[in-house]
Amino acid sequence: MTSSHAPAAEPSAGPERPLVVVSNRLPFQVEREAGQARLARAPGGLVAALEPVLRRRGGTWVGWTGVPREDGRPSGYALPDTDGVAYRPVPLSASEVAQYYGGFSNRTLWPLFHYFLGRTQIDGGTWAAYERVNERFAELAAAARADGGLVWVHDYQLLRVPHHLRRLAPDARIAFFLHIPFPATEVFRVLPWARPLLRGALACDLVGLHVPAYVGHFLTSAERLLGCEVDRAAGTVRFEGRVVSVQAHPIGIDVALVEALARGAAPGPRQRADDRVAEILGVDRLDYTKGIPERLAAVERLLERHPGYRRRVRFTQLMVPSRERVAEYAELKRQIDEAVGRINGRFSEAGWSPVRYLVRSLPPEELVPLYRGADVALLTPLRDGMNLVAKEYVAAQLENDGVLILSEMAGAADELQEALLVNPFDPDAVADALHRALGMSEDERRARMSALRDRVRSNDVHAWVDRFVAAAERASDRARAAAASPVEAVERRLGPWLAARPTVALLLDYDGTLTPRVASPDDARLSDPARQALEEAARAPNLDIAIVSGRALDDLKERVGIAGFTYVGNHGFEMEGPGLAFRHERTERSLEAMRQAADALEALAVPGARVEPKGVTLSYHLRAVPADARPAAVRQAEAVLRRRRLRVTFGHDVVEGRPALDWHKGRAVLHVLVHRHGADWPARVRALYVGDDVTDEDAFRSLRGIGRSICVASNHVPVATASDLDLPDPDAVLQLVRWLAAGGFAHAAP
């Protein structure tokens, strides 16, 4: 089990390092005055807590200004760099804002993470925009970071930023905090991009979440969706050779500010005179997660079941407008408007209406007096990451005489156990809680509220920032101390799985896997260490090795030339090995089309391009073509091949023509395994495929669930790969081959 809170902050052993904060928005909001735009400081406890830390340490805040611009430059106002804090705007076009923010962030991640699957929109276009914008945030963060400084990324809009930042700055200290719930694995995995989002967060040294339940969900997702090694007691995940800490850090509020405003508005201790109207308060942004219609139903139920409260209570719902131009939000507001009208129509009497409905945004100096004057706060979201309104209400109760009714679906319920906790979907239970709160004795009110206030004060937002930053720096130090090489990380994952069968079928791509990618494919020759490693593997009694390539079979055999291997050439259309000689029976009819296509590609005379006829397939190499000319060359080659009714595939700087048959590396690999080990090979053999190219994805997919695959990707793993694991380069592959040849997995515990 994870602990309920992260360890307390420890004093820093050395000088404080600079800090980079990355959030969707900069701490400014655009205001227009006399036709001119200017930036004003955004309100909020998080801004108030982070900026003093940035000033003290020196640092940078990276984010969007809130103004879409094609060129990213603000107009009519400047970003101030003051007191040692720099502000770096991320340029976002109106289209990007609509897709990345309005689309994937708020129509996909927001509803899914709040368990509203029916409202979740799955759209590959908005995902692509989200990925692109996250990479841009990461580029600015990488440019802003100082050596040894922490980069702190915030919230669901930027889950992929740590991945891109780790690629750009492998030694960076990175932390992430999610301000909304992290859902249960069975909900999260609904998202087609759940795995790349997890990879994004796990590029950090510390992942921070509000409460232990969210930590548990995250750990389970890492374990079940990525196959990571998880230590639940320590709250750690082993990922890509690093140990990532996952901790609960419940966020706080600016208690001092709320108390000061409450003192300015405080009328003194509440009098419970019989003729006094008791005030019930709800404060929410317009959003379907907040449960406002359900709350109004509970108020209506209270008045139905307890007529004595008529003229004695009033429920004030303050609702901050949000996205009212979005159809679903406009419909939600219509439902709320109608519910308020219905309740007031049913129960109003001369001089009294049961519901006061305020649709506006109030500054803190007007909001806190509402908290202070409310006998009961009714805060019943259907799902909420934390709910800071509950903590603000508690902080405003200077005489400890209010009552908090709080949804058990809010993260704050973990901390605020002395509140009356309710299920927001049960209007009868919420009505009962209201009845209890309104009749609660003074002793019970003060006992509950004093306990709540002590807890809220001890974990205000300033303490939260200090604790989180200290925890992130400790996690970063631990991650470096416990770091394993990428090969060691793969070995740890594979060892127990491999040890469960007596034989390992090792299937290796050639170019980019056993040899580095070079300017000319003719130069891709095995190094002496690579040949030595393969020869050692050939002598291992429990290894059955196949080399799988897009190269022609004879070319592949000549380049490797090790007896006892199975050679799979031309993407599987040709195979040869112990007891195996195969050529796809339907390739002959494509040979003339291949010859015609080769001649037509030569006739294009693209500078730097090279045509490689390989018998039953054809490659058009573009590595030596200038980068700005490659897109046009790809389009021309594709047209040539399609006119000959050939199947067109694309690899690393190569366009390939193949027979128009449903045959590829994936089907070829299964053919080899069945031929070598029988149709029931999974009962006796572990199949491990290692490749780097787009064409290897076919093999990754074919082995999914019955074997394992490794993507060899310099710098980072492609987002869409179907592989199970990854290695950075051919040198790492050779280390893995040596480990397999030495039988390093043979005694691993299954």
- Give the model's pLDDT for residue 2: 41
Mean pLDDT (the chain, rounded): 89
Give which of 537, 525, 524, 582 is closest to 564, Cα–Cα. 537
Q: What is the pLDDT of residues 628-685, one digit of tens each?
A: 899 999 999 999 999 988 888 888 788 988 888 888 999 999 999 999 999 999 999 9
Mean pLDDT of 720-748: 86
Q: Which residue has the higher pLDDT, 584 or 438?
A: 438
Tokens describing residue 183: 């859902």
Look at residue 131 and tell me whether its pLDDT is greater than 80: yes
Residues 6 or more apart whose Cβ sits within 8 Å of residue 186: none
- Say how far apart CA 609 and CA 117 lie, in whole Å: 49
Give which of 171, 164, 162 is closest to 206, Cα–Cα. 162
Confidence tier at 10 by pLDDT (50, 70, 90): very low
Look at residue 276 and tell me whether its pLDDT is greater than 50: yes
Look at residue 255 and tell me whether its pLDDT is greater than 70: yes
- Give the model's pLDDT for residue 268: 54
- Say how far apart CA 705 and CA 204 lie, in whole Å: 28
Look at residue 73 and tell me whether its pLDDT is greater than 60: no
Identify whether the C-beta of residue 572 lies closer than 8 Å to the C-beta of residue 671.
yes
Ranges for all domains in the chain classified under CATH 3.40.50.1000: 484-584+663-750
Mean pLDDT of 217-245: 93
- Give the model's pLDDT for residue 676: 93
- Give the model's pLDDT for residue 9: 44
Ranges for all domains in the chain classified under CATH 3.30.70.1020: 589-659
Look at residue 373 and tell me whether its pLDDT is greater than 80: yes
In sequence order, what are the beta bridge partners of 508?
547, 690
- Give the model's pLDDT for residue 529: 93
Residues 6 or more apart whose Cβ sits within 8 Å of residue 713: 692, 721, 726, 727, 728
Tokens describing residue 5: 């809170």
Pairing of strands 618-621, 229-231: unpaired
Distance from the Cα of residue 351 to its chain's centroid = 53
Mean pLDDT of 452-472: 95
Fold of 589-659: Alpha-Beta Plaits (3.30.70)
- Give the model's pLDDT for residue 71: 47
Confidence tier at 326 by pLDDT (50, 70, 90): confident
Query: How many other CB atoms are there within 10 angstroms of residue 707's CB atom?
Result: 23
- Give the model's pLDDT for residue 292: 97
- Give the model's pLDDT for residue 719: 56
Q: What is the pLDDT of residues 16-45, one digit of tens each?
A: 788 999 999 998 876 666 666 667 777 666
Lowest-confidence pick of 345-349, 405-409, 592-596, 666-670: 592-596
Query: How many other CB atoms are there within 10 angstroms of residue 12's CB atom?
Result: 13
- Give the model's pLDDT for residue 11: 40
Q: What is the pLDDT of residues 572-611, one digit of tens each?
A: 999 999 989 988 888 888 888 888 989 999 899 999 998 8
Identify whether the C-beta of residue 392 lies closer than 8 Å to the C-beta of residue 371.
yes
- Say how far apart CA 348 and CA 556 lie, in whole Å: 87
Confidence tier at 55 by pLDDT (50, 70, 90): confident
- Give the model's pLDDT for residue 1: 37
> Active site residue: 155, 287, 375, 509, which one?
509
Fold of 255-458: Rossmann fold (3.40.50)
- Give the model's pLDDT for residue 589: 80
CA distances from residue 562 to 449, 536, 583, 677, 692 in whole angstroms, order as listed: 78, 11, 21, 21, 22
- Say how far apart CA 338 and CA 357 lie, in whole Å: 11
**Backbone dihedral region for residue 227 (phi beyond 0: left; psi -120 to 50: alpha; all else: beta):** left
Ranges for all domains in the chain classified under CATH 3.40.50.2000: 19-248, 255-458
Active-site residue, 509 included:
yes
- Give the model's pLDDT for residue 484: 73
- Give the model's pLDDT for residue 40: 72
Domain made up of 484-584+663-750: CATH architecture: 3-Layer(aba) Sandwich (3.40)
Confidence tier at 75 by pLDDT (50, 70, 90): very low
CA distances from residue 369 to 279, 290, 329, 398, 493 in whole angstroms, order as listed: 12, 22, 28, 12, 57
Helices assigned H by DSSP within 705-746: 730-741
- Is residue 124 packed enough to be buried (19+ CB in 10 Å), middle (13-18) or exposed (0-12)? exposed
Q: Which residue has the higher pLDDT, 9 or 17?
A: 17
Look at residue 567 and tell me whether its pLDDT is greater than 90: yes
Q: Which CATH superfamily is domain 19-248 in?
A: Glycogen Phosphorylase B; (3.40.50.2000)
Mean pLDDT of 123-137: 96
- Say how far apart CA 422 and CA 247 lie, in whole Å: 26
